């Protein structure tokens, strides 16, 4: 029963994480909470299926790349304005400028920063979960 519930809850957890990432509690989203929710969905898979089966189901080997990519993306959003003589974290487009929309999502730098934070938190959390699960698996065998 636990395995069925874990499989059923993975996709809704990822959808909720995506919804929080895009709109969150404010208009710019919330990358940290979305990353934690998505990582909890993955943790549930480890608890329900065990280390070996969870490793086969999910591409956990990519979490280090995801975390590093998120770090680079967040740092780029924060520091790139310095090259144009602007302050750190200067929003693009600026106040009063035209904003590009993708559906209802405004494509502005805070959204890109939130995506980077999501990738960093998700990658780190799942990597830590995998590291702990691997150590427990080695101890048991």
- pLDDT score of 118: 95
Per-position pLDDT tens, the chain of length 141: 888 999 899 999 999 999 898 876 556 668 999 999 999 999 999 899 888 888 887 778 889 999 999 999 999 999 999 999 999 988 888 888 888 887 777 778 888 899 999 999 999 999 999 999 889 888 887
**What is the C-alpha to C-alpha distance for residues 36 and 34, in angstroms, rounded to an integer?**
5
Angle formed by the axes of helices 109-140 and 63-79, nearest 10°: 150
Q: Is the dihedral of CA 83, 28, 70, 66 positive or negative?
A: negative
**What is the C-alpha to C-alpha distance for residues 106 and 84, in angstroms, rounded to an integer?**
23
pTM of the predicted protein model = 0.88
């Amino acid at each position: 029963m636990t395995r069925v519930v874990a499989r059923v809850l993975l996709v809704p957890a990822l959808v909720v994480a995506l919804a929080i990432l895009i709109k969150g509690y404010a208009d710019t989203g919330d990358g940290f909470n979305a990353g934690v929710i998505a990582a909890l969905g993955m943790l549930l898979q480890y608890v329900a299926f065990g280390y070996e089966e969870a490793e086969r189901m999910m591409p956990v080997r990519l979490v280090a790349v995801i975390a590093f990519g998120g770090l680079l993306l967040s740092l780029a959003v924060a520091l790139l304005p310095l090259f144009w003589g602007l302050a750190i974290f200067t929003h693009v487009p600026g106040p009063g400028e035209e904003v590009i929309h993708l559906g209802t999502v405004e494509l502005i730098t805070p959204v890109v920063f939130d995506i980077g934070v999501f990738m960093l938190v998700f990658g780190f959390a799942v990597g830590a979960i995998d590291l702990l699960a691997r150590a427990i698996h080695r101890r048991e065998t």
